[in-house]
Amino acid sequence: MPTTSRPDLLLPADPGLRALARQLYALAAEQPIISPHGHVDPALLAEDRPFPDPSRLIIVPDHYLTRMLLSQGVPPAELGVPTVDGSPVETDGRKIWRRFVDGWHLFRGTPSRLWLEQTLTEVFGVDTPLSPATADAVYDEVAARLAEPAFRPRALFDRFRIEVLATTESPLDDLAQHAKLAADGWGGPGGKVVTTFRPDNVVDMEFDNWAGNVERLGAVAGEDTGTYAGFLAALRRRREAFIAAGATCSDHGHPTAQTLDLDAREAAALFERGLRGTADAADAEAFRAHMLLEFARMSLDDGLVMQLHPGSVRNHNRWLYARHGRDVGGDIPQATEYLHALTPLLDAHGNDPRLRVVVYTLDEYTFTRELAPLAGGYAALYLGAPWWFLDSPEVLRRFREAVTETAGFYNTAGFVDDTRAFCSIPVRHDVARRVDAGFLARLVAEHRLTEDEAAETIVDLAYRLPKRVYKIGEQL
């Protein structure tokens, strides 16, 4: 779904470069969307119900938006963000919308602004520029669209030309929504909507109620997770179930990139300390680190591509967490070390091309020093797209400028939208494609690449590369 209302959006200002970039972008814009990692609720597509009102669709669940207003003193409750204790928040969609639009200027120069504007114009066909004066009119236009059948999730999925969308579930999930999708011809291996195996809640001892989760894992998998061997067996069972539901990837969100290769006895001892409640923070870190080695070994057996998302300090804003819970914008990046952290994993399996590990970062100050040299030197490593806070035009550009010279294009994994905002998916991919077009245009203009090569590369980046790296469409 190429965007049309601002054809030169994000393309370089220099007229010569822009002309080149326009041609390259046109090739990218034709490609279907591969969305190998994100957080769309599978029920959305399984049930295919109409979306709720514009505010509940666009504002309430988007912590990029509510966070920015909080930074200027607007409490999330005024924007309808639910509270942990159920204390009342604003529920009138129109009031939430107005409150939000009052702070619209705060988003100048941000990707949130770009994504929302493009969602309004390209997805909803609303050409009225958003401003406090037009807030109601825009709200009404979007609300009217949402009532139309063409704006139901599955219709949009097809209109967005999404080829495959991967959602993310925990091993405790019964995958019922994915079963329904498969029954409707939308899911299952090689299907349009697939799942991803994300075991953080049973791997991270610091997760709320980890021991309870481990017990539930046993129940779901039909294994005795009271022992470490049973725990591993249960994980293997759930991976099988996920693969049967179309998964081609696992995903791991850890505070650091630490990996560790313990022997089975040490690992079992850690696991038992965890269950007994006597594990400390170092134990928890060691167990997470070691489990990445276990998952790498499982990947060598079952073929799931590993995704590693390190470096986020979760729920840093304690007031926000106490009032509104997880995943509402209180996560902040910390400095992330990769070289020494990944050494145990790379020593064990780094040169094995059958393993595939896609590493993401929240710390752009590792691009040239660690990430590009590692990805350019180990067969198993790929660089994921700049992630969260970095999934923006300026950083997407800096990412290419920084990593290409050492890792090339083909050790990167293509764009990932990583979003729960379904309606913004085409727009986010569009932004990345435009930035890549601008970067490639510069390489051509500087005589570092031929036009033919750039044309092939932009299609690889937009479509072929993510499909291949994440094994999209493959049956494991």
Residues 318-337 that bind a second copy (CB under 8 A): 318-320, 329-330, 332-335, 337
Q: Which of 230, 164, 240, 228 is nearest to 197 (CA)?
A: 240
Q: Which stretch binds a second copy (CB under 8 A): 80-88, 174-182, 206-214, 360-368?
A: 360-368
When asked if residue 458 is in the footprint of a second copy (CB under 8 A), the reply is no
* Under rule CB under 8 A, residue 402 binds a second copy: yes
Residue 347 binding a second copy, by CB under 8 A = yes
> Which of 16, 125, 132, 190 is the binder for a second copy (CB under 8 A)?
16
Q: Which of 91, 209, 351, 475 binds a second copy (CB under 8 A)?
A: 351
How far is 462 from 469, CA to CA, in rounded Å?
A: 12
Burial class (CB in 10 A: 0-12, 13-18, 19+), 127: exposed
Instruction: Report how far Cα 36 is from the mean position of its chain's Cα atoms.
Output: 8
Contact set for a second copy, span 37-96 (CB under 8 A):
67-68, 70-73
What residues numbered 414-453 form the site for a second copy, per CB under 8 A? Answer: 442-443, 445-450, 453
For residues 17 and 182, which CB has a smaller minimum distance to a second copy in the complex? 17
Q: Which of 370, 417, 418, 436 touches a second copy by CB under 8 A?
A: 370
| Shortest Å distance, C-beta 468 to a second copy | 11
Residues touching a second copy: how many (CB under 8 A)? 92
Of the candidate residues 390, 421, 469, 472, the single one contacting a second copy (CB under 8 A): 390
Q: How many whole angstroms separate alpha carbon 230 and alpha carbon 437?
A: 49
Measured from the CB atom, the residue of 190 and 408 that comes closer to a second copy is 408
Single residue of 235, 372, 385, 423 touching a second copy by CB under 8 A: 372
Q: Which stretch binds a second copy (CB under 8 A): 222-230, 288-296, 391-399, 464-472?
A: 391-399
Among 36, 80, 310, 350, binds a second copy (CB under 8 A): 350
Q: Which of residues 119-148 bind a second copy (CB under 8 A)?
A: 129
* For a second copy, the closer CB: 55 or 457: 457
- Nearer Cβ to a second copy (128/209): 128
Residues 238-277 interacting with a second copy (rule: CB under 8 A): none
| 353 lies in the binding site for a second copy (CB under 8 A) | yes
Enumerate residues 157-176 that contact a second copy by CB under 8 A: none
Options 43, 269, 339, 459; binder of a second copy; rule CB under 8 A: 339
Q: Which of 94, 207, 410, 459 binds a second copy (CB under 8 A)?
A: 410
Tell me: does residue 207 bind a second copy (CB under 8 A). Answer: no
Of 188 and 384, which CB lies nearer to a second copy in the complex structure? 384
Residues forming a β-bridge with 53 = none
Exactly one of 411, 417, 436, 476 binds a second copy (CB under 8 A); that residue is 411
Indicate which single residue of 179, 389, 459, 464 sits in contact with a second copy (rule: CB under 8 A): 389
Closest CB to a second copy among residues 170, 317: 317
Binding status of residue 108 toward a second copy by CB under 8 A: yes
Q: Is 474 in the site for a second copy (CB under 8 A)?
A: no
